[in-house]
Structure 1
Amino acid sequence: MIVLLKLSAGMALLLFGMQFMKTGLENVAQRRMRQALHTLTRTAAMGTLAGTIITMLVQSSTAITVMTIGLVNARVISFTQALGIVLGTNIGTCITTQIISFNLNDVALPAIGLGAIIMTWSRRKGWYYLGQSIVGFGIVFLGIGVITGSMEPLKNSSLFNTVMHSLGQSHLLALLAGITVTALIHSSSTTTGIIIALSHQGLIDLPMAIAMVLGSNIGTCITGILAAIGSSPAAQRVAWAHVLLNVVGVLIFFPLIAPFSNLLTITADSLPRQIANAHTIFNVISSLAVLPFIRQFAALLERIVPD
């Protein structure tokens, strides 16, 4: 029971930290985000670059995808422009995973303290929101530290080891677990953070982690689908573009988990870094592979979701 309470507390801190940081960063850049998405998406390549940069700044691909659906629904940008942004959000969200993969537990409390000082003494909203994002950043790593510490006793749990053994034996079950957890918490970055916390305690191996990371990329699509309900056909196509991009990418990568794992061992020495690199390589390849065929991709989605 104590382990479950600590694990729940760590997950709550991680979720709250991600939301707190995202809200602060969104408010810092909110004035110019819509303008940037409108003016910097004249071509698919520019849209991809804009989506990548803005997602890196806001630290939430889901938020940018939902915003893009709203802009298409309001006819501020075209469907083809929105497709470029969707490709960019998949790349931009990788920076969050890369940051989480580093062991920055020692900077968690100093970051919370620094952010709180900025929030307390700032007279301008911009500085206040910057402080908020720093506090959120610290809470994220505090949550990961709590999750990692709470999982240590699980090494001696026969039930937990049985579950993890089942997931390790079946990559399909691990994939479904990643989909389910991400769909419930609406954050692929948080799911990846939990996977990385498991890896710190040696409770997960690389192939199983890759399967769960692939699942998280499908599970994160649920928020965009919910946001598109009742919207225009063009906005619905944006949501389904996100689904199709990730599902097809997973179908291609899933049978290649074993050789992909061997490749990732070359990219880094530690398991958390290898997991982060798996997430990055998957999203970058999936997006860049579609970019040259953006018009054909748009035509396919227009058939799937007709006017």
Structure 2
Amino acid sequence: MKHLLNLLAAIALLVWGTHLVRAGILRVFGANLRNVLSHSVSNRWTAAISGLGVTALVQSSTATALIVSSFVGQGLVTLPIALAVMLGADVGTSLMAVVFSFDLSWLSPLFIFSGVVMFLSRQSSPVGRFGRVLIGLGLMLLALRLIAASTAIMTQSPVVKALLESITTELLLEITVGAFISLIAYSSLAMVLLTATMAASGLVPLESALGLVLGANLGSGLLAVLTTAKSAIEVRQVPLGNFVFKAIGVMVVAPFAGLWLRYARPYITDAATVVVLFHLTFNIVVGVLFIGLTQVVAGWVGKWLPKPEKNMVAGRPHHLDPSALATPSLAISCAAREALHQADVVETMMVGMLTVIKNNDLKLAEDLRKLDDSVDELYSAIKYYLTKISREALGEEESRRWTDIISFTINMEQIGDIVERILIDVEDKKIKKDRNFSDAGMAEICELHARLIDNLRLGMSVFLNGSVRDAQKLLEEKARFRDLERAYASTHLTRLSGNTMQSIETSGLHIDLISDLKRINSHICSIAYPILDSAGALAPNRLRQAAIEEASG
């Protein structure tokens, strides 16, 4: 019982080490990995090579599948190219299995010691996050050594031998067991390394080990399908296509596994090397055979998972992909895109608001007020999505982006509330009482509104691109808008002194309206503060003064 517990603990340590490496690499290089993939998909071969390189670094074809799936969902990559990336990704993870099959146990204490020192000394820096990667690598190597020691003892037990003989005599059963363990471990790499170590210890016969490896490949494809099961159709298509490749590959290769073992075994003395080279050979063969069929398989997947017909509301793409939460940089990107959609809804409300003021359109006013509910729902959804991203998993830049998104969505939500109040005031004080602004007053409102729309679009650009120059321009617009609002309030009072009837009737609404427009502009311009602050282009006293102004008005 003790030896079995030791084996299970060693397996758990191997899985945990794999998780640490994958998470650490994504934290350190997450954005760069996405850039490499997005700029290396000009054709199927370069796409496959980029997938190989990224997955060899991340040590998880599932993580690569999630990244590439998001590209397909955003329309940045076509499905056939994404499937080519995944063929390369499978070769990448099998190459890492070969590397770990060598006796690198002497590196384990070095990696763990160096990683702990780096992590504890500079936890929140890239050095500290790379230390986590070294800790994960060290734990993986240590786990492999512990597994070998535990299995060597267990192979001496007659009970264990009888049990293994009873469950490793059927290829289909071996494939099923391998796929199931890969799903539980959330890593085909860990499963292949475990199988190789047990084969080297004699706990599992080589013939059965090959069946378990085929199952690990099948389980890897199924894992990505299950992980993206609740995502958009475009996102789910990539893992499904990759699973098709793996399933066909397993069906084609399985009958010849024994034949491959017969011809390869005489030249390879180490059982673990036989297992990992079979894993590598399988994925290379699948990649070479199927890279020319990505278009065909993409067609199949398109029929099995057809894209839904899109309309203006229900059919819009929702970017808060739950499967992306496993990749922090990808999840941040999803939240940013949803925040931009929230801003688009706010812009629709603001543009329609002027039409209501001009034309006294009660029906449009009611529709626009309903949009505020959508703005509030988007704010809640984005906020909840962001809270599910571990702050510890974010780098310094991603953590700052996390804060920027929260701030942006809060400002958009508050703008939506202000627009809703304006619409209610216009209905009660103007439309229902059949009053109108004077021509001069309407011209002033139109001028402020036009500047407001321009500033909103500039603010969205600042949020998207983080341009310091545009942020400075947006901040300058705040001062201009404030001066203009004061000037128009003064001219309105002048019209009142001239006893202009329209100005008198709408005086209260007019003053409230231009004041509300100024508050909306303040929320828009506040988008610039985090950008300028992070760039060191905003003096601390200016920031405090801005906060005071926001609170007061």
* TM-score above 0.5, yes or no: yes
| Structure 1 residue 36 corresponds to structure 2 residue 33 | no
Quote the Cα distance in structure 2 between the aligned partners of 1:74 and 1:103.
Answer: 43
Matched to 1:214, the amino acid is: L
CA contact 2:175–2:211 (8 Å) conserved in 1:
yes
* Counterpart position of 1:262: 262
CA contact 1:182–1:220 (8 Å) conserved in 2:
yes
Residue identity over aligned pairs, in percent, reads: 22
* Counterpart position of 1:273: 273
Cα deviation, 1:74-111, whole Å, max 9, x if unaligned, reads 33322222112111111111122112211222221122
* Counterpart position of 2:110: 110
Quote the Cα distance in structure 2 between the aligned partners of 1:267 and 1:65.
Answer: 35
Quote the Cα distance in structure 2 between the aligned partners of 1:294 and 1:278.
Answer: 23
SS in 2 for 1:203: coil
* Counterpart position of 2:120: 120
CA contact 2:210–2:275 (8 Å) conserved in 1:
yes
How far 1:267 sits from its partner (Å)? Answer: 5.1
Cα gap change, 1:266 to 1:289, in 2 (>3 Å): farther
CA contact 1:210–1:257 (8 Å) conserved in 2:
yes
Quote the Cα distance in structure 1 between the aligned partners of 2:19 and 2:224.
Answer: 17
Q: TM-score, normalised by structure 1?
A: 0.94
Quote the Cα distance in structure 1 between the aligned partners of 2:156 and 2:227.
Answer: 42
Q: Which of the two has higher C-alpha Rg? A: 2
Quote the Cα distance in structure 2 between the aligned partners of 1:48 and 1:90.
Answer: 9
| Structure 1 residue 204 corresponds to structure 2 residue 198 | no
* Counterpart position of 2:246: 246
CA contact 1:290–1:297 (8 Å) conserved in 2:
no
- Counterparts of residues 192-231 of structure 1 (less than 5 Å): 192-231=192-231
| Structure 1 residue 62 corresponds to structure 2 residue 35 | no
CA contact 1:177–1:215 (8 Å) conserved in 2:
yes
CA contact 1:62–1:220 (8 Å) conserved in 2:
yes
- Counterparts of residues 142-153 of structure 1 (less than 5 Å): 142-153=142-153
| Structure 1 residue 133 corresponds to structure 2 residue 151 | no
SS in 1 for 2:110: helix
How far 1:13 sits from its partner (Å)? Answer: 1.1
How far 1:122 sits from its partner (Å)? Answer: 4.4
CA contact 2:123–2:129 (8 Å) conserved in 1:
no
* Counterpart position of 2:525: none
How far 1:33 sits from its partner (Å)? Answer: 1.3
Cα gap change, 1:176 to 1:23, in 2 (>3 Å): same
Quote the Cα distance in structure 1 between the aligned partners of 2:288 and 2:167.
Answer: 31
How far 1:266 sits from its partner (Å)? Answer: 4.9
* Counterpart position of 2:159: 159
How far 1:29 sits from its partner (Å)? Answer: 1.4
Quote the Cα distance in structure 2 between the aligned partners of 1:47 and 1:129.
Answer: 28
Cα gap change, 1:123 to 1:219, in 2 (>3 Å): closer
Cα gap change, 1:36 to 1:209, in 2 (>3 Å): same
Matched to 2:160, the amino acid is: F
Quote the Cα distance in structure 2 between the aligned partners of 1:32 and 1:57.
Answer: 12
How far 1:210 sits from its partner (Å)? Answer: 0.7
Quote the Cα distance in structure 2 between the aligned partners of 1:186 and 1:120.
Answer: 28
CA contact 2:193–2:276 (8 Å) conserved in 1:
no
Matched to 1:162, the amino acid is: A
Quote the Cα distance in structure 2 between the aligned partners of 1:184 and 1:63.
Answer: 16
Quote the Cα distance in structure 2 between the aligned partners of 1:101 and 1:280.
Answer: 12
Quote the Cα distance in structure 2 between the aligned partners of 1:180 and 1:211.
Answer: 13
Cα gap change, 1:267 to 1:34, in 2 (>3 Å): farther
SS in 1 for 2:126: helix
Quote the Cα distance in structure 2 between the aligned partners of 1:159 and 1:177.
Answer: 20
Quote the Cα distance in structure 1 between the aligned partners of 2:50 and 2:65.
Answer: 12
Matched to 1:290, the amino acid is: F
Matched to 1:94, the amino acid is: S
How far 1:123 sits from its partner (Å)? Answer: 7.9
Quote the Cα distance in structure 1 between the aligned partners of 2:211 and 2:232.
Answer: 34
Matched to 2:215, the amino acid is: G
Quote the Cα distance in structure 1 between the aligned partners of 2:65 and 2:263.
Answer: 31
CA contact 2:81–2:294 (8 Å) conserved in 1:
no
CA contact 1:79–1:238 (8 Å) conserved in 2:
yes
Structure 1 consecutive aligned stretches of length 4 or more whose deviation exceeds 3 Å: 120-124
* Counterpart position of 2:10: 10
Matched to 1:213, the amino acid is: V
* Counterpart position of 1:23: 23
CA contact 2:52–2:88 (8 Å) conserved in 1:
yes
Quote the Cα distance in structure 2 between the aligned partners of 1:298 and 1:188.
Answer: 24
Quote the Cα distance in structure 2 between the aligned partners of 1:234 and 1:20.
Answer: 29
Cα deviation, 1:101-143, whole Å, max 9, x if unaligned, reads 1122222112211222232344882222222211111100111
How far 1:223 sits from its partner (Å)? Answer: 2.5
Quote the Cα distance in structure 2 between the aligned partners of 1:261 and 1:214.
Answer: 14
CA contact 2:152–2:202 (8 Å) conserved in 1:
no
CA contact 1:69–1:227 (8 Å) conserved in 2:
no
Q: Name which structure has the greater RCO, CA cutoff 8 Å, separation 6+.
A: 1
CA contact 1:47–1:81 (8 Å) conserved in 2:
yes
| Length, aligned pairs only | 307
Matched to 1:263, the amino acid is: Y
Quote the Cα distance in structure 2 between the aligned partners of 1:182 and 1:220.
Answer: 6
Unaligned runs of at least 5 residues, structure 1: none
Cα gap change, 1:227 to 1:124, in 2 (>3 Å): closer
Unaligned runs of at least 5 residues, structure 2: 308-553
CA contact 1:267–1:277 (8 Å) conserved in 2:
no
Q: TM-score, normalised by structure 2?
A: 0.53
Cα deviation, 1:263-296, whole Å, max 9, x if unaligned, reads 3325532111111100000001101111122222
Quote the Cα distance in structure 1 between the aligned partners of 2:105 and 2:242.
Answer: 33
Cα gap change, 1:267 to 1:120, in 2 (>3 Å): farther
| Structure 1 residue 95 corresponds to structure 2 residue 91 | no
Matched to 2:40, the amino acid is: L
SS in 2 for 1:156: coil
How far 1:166 sits from its partner (Å)? Answer: 2.4
Quote the Cα distance in structure 1 between the aligned partners of 2:97 and 2:169.
Answer: 25
Matched to 2:100, the amino acid is: I
CA contact 1:79–1:235 (8 Å) conserved in 2:
no
